Amino acid sequence: MNKKRTIYTIAKELSLAPGTISKVINNTGNVSDQTRERVLTYIKKVGYVPNNSARMLKSKRTYTVGIVFTEESDVGLEHSFFSSILQHFKTYVEIEGYELSFIVKKLGQHELSYYEWCMNKRVDGVYIVVGNYNDSGLFELVESDIPVVSTDMLLPKLHTVISDNDQGVKLIFDYIKDELNLENVAYISGPKSSKAFNERVDAYHKYLNEYKMNQTTDVVYAESFGFTSGYNALQKVLENSKQKPDLIMVASDEIALGVLKALADMQYKVPEDVQVIGFDDIAFAKHFTPSLTTIRQDKKLLGETAAKRLIELMNNPQKDISEIIKLPVKLIKRESTGKK
């Protein structure tokens, strides 16, 4: 049937009241789960798209979420870990009727702060995918009345969804001690500008002492988030180590893949000569040679939980909601580690 549908025609087709259709579309009021599912299934089947203009006028909202992906952090949209989380966030909020708009510092010829940009575009909320702690504009945004969530930054008043970094590092140490029976370890972290990397470094020192293992050199910090920085960091580890490490822990998979390439170029066999464990479980980790043992962060759960939290904040701006949600992680064993 080729006609323009409204909530009134859909109500007639389903033998329901127009108000019921409106409640389902706008996720308001009391509607039974069975009726809600029936309406949602039907509008998806017929390809009905709600009239956002009418909804915006009625609610005085734009149903737009601003996205911050700070360029100063040297992390592009092609970074597999962050882009995957953003994709899952996007999928969830779009199903809920929201659109995404990337926040930029220039609007035409005008230079704007993040807050000014958000006020200009009248966004209902903001998602910080990756932020830089040296960027004062982000602090201004977090201090404003605009609801903001992040899966990267940790700040007062900022609602953050992160993986349990302490649990992840502990899983690695349990594995090293109980299954691999290794003693000499080294650690490569990402840049100090990332709070997540700093949390993992703190956990590393904590469990290094608790498990009484030998650190072959001080923590080496990669200069960025990517493959090349891991390649260069491995050379620093070997140059500074008192003895060859049995295992190298790496704070992210992107950096760890660079470490594996550097080891191969230097004629080290993995895991026979040196073992490597990453953190994230990006898509390419299982396809690399050797495949990478790592800590899996649930990217889908991170993105969807951040989306749910932001929608909750936008719908209930006065509600007292906890600022930090920590999600569990899992050890994934692959070819870069194993018993000797």
The structure tokens listed for 284 are: 């390419």
**Residue 104's pLDDT band (boundaries 50, 70, 90)?**
confident
Does residue 230 fall inside a structural domain?
A: yes
Query: What is the average per-residue pLDDT within 73-84?
Result: 70
**How far apart are alpha carbons 154 and 143 in whole angstroms?**
13
**Residue 1's pLDDT band (boundaries 50, 70, 90)?**
very low
Radius of gyration from C-alpha coordinates of the chain? 24
Question: Are 12 and 43 members of one domain?
Answer: yes
Question: Are 182 and 289 members of one domain?
Answer: yes
Q: What percent of the chain has a predicted confidence (pLDDT) above 70? A: 89
Residue type, 258: G
Select, from the ranges 10-14, 75-79, 305-309, the one with the highest average predicted confidence (pLDDT). Answer: 305-309
Question: Are 152 and 271 members of one domain?
Answer: no
Question: Are 153 and 259 members of one domain?
Answer: no
Does residue 2 fall inside a structural domain?
A: no
Can you give the pLDDT at residue 225? Answer: 86
Does residue 185 fall inside a structural domain?
A: yes
Q: What percent of the chain has a predicted confidence (pLDDT) above 90? A: 59
168 neighbors 332 (Cβ within 8 angstroms): no
16 neighbors 25 (Cβ within 8 angstroms): no
Question: Are 279 and 251 members of one domain?
Answer: yes
Does residue 336 fall inside a structural domain?
A: no
Query: What is the average per-residue pLDDT within 181-202?
Result: 93
Does residue 44 fall inside a structural domain?
A: yes
**Residue 74's pLDDT band (boundaries 50, 70, 90)?**
low
Does residue 1 fall inside a structural domain?
A: no
Query: What is the average per-residue pLDDT within 35-47?
Result: 87
Reference 99, options 150, 50, 29, 38; nearest CA is: 50
Can you give the pLDDT at residue 107? Answer: 56
Can you give the pLDDT at residue 56? Answer: 53
Which among 279, 297, 315 is the end of a domain?
297
Residue whose tokens read 């390419």:
284
Residue 78: is its pLDDT beyond 50?
Answer: yes
Does residue 57 fall inside a structural domain?
A: no
Q: State how many domains the chain has.
A: 3
Residue 73: is its pLDDT beyond 70?
Answer: no
Residue 139: is its pLDDT beyond 50?
Answer: yes
Chain center to CA of 90: 12
Does residue 308 fall inside a structural domain?
A: yes
102 neighbors 69 (Cβ within 8 angstroms): yes
The CATH number of whichever domain residue 264 belongs to comes to: 3.40.50.2300
Give, in order, the Cα–Cα distances in Å from 197 to each of 41, 124, 132: 43, 30, 13
Question: Are 183 and 254 members of one domain?
Answer: yes
Can you give the pLDDT at residue 291? Answer: 98
Q: Regarding predicted confidence, which is higher, 315 or 171? A: 171
Question: Collapsing DSSP states into helix, strand and coil, what is residue 320?
Answer: coil
Domain extent at residue 103: 64-162+299-325
pLDDT in tens, 262-303: 999 999 999 999 999 999 999 999 999 999 999 999 999 999
Question: Are 174 and 207 members of one domain?
Answer: yes
**Residue 20's pLDDT band (boundaries 50, 70, 90)?**
confident
Query: What is the average per-residue pLDDT within 189-209?
Result: 93
Question: Are 170 and 131 members of one domain?
Answer: no
Q: Regarding predicted confidence, which is higher, 331 or 18? A: 331
pLDDT in tens, 219-228: 999 998 889 9
Question: Are 292 and 316 members of one domain?
Answer: no
Question: Are 26 and 74 members of one domain?
Answer: no
Question: Are 178 and 284 members of one domain?
Answer: yes
The pTM score is 0.78
Least confident of 79-88, 97-106, 238-247: 97-106
One DSSP character per residue, 145-179 reads SS-EEESS---TT-EEEEE-HHHHHHHHHHHIIII
Question: Are 280 and 215 members of one domain?
Answer: yes
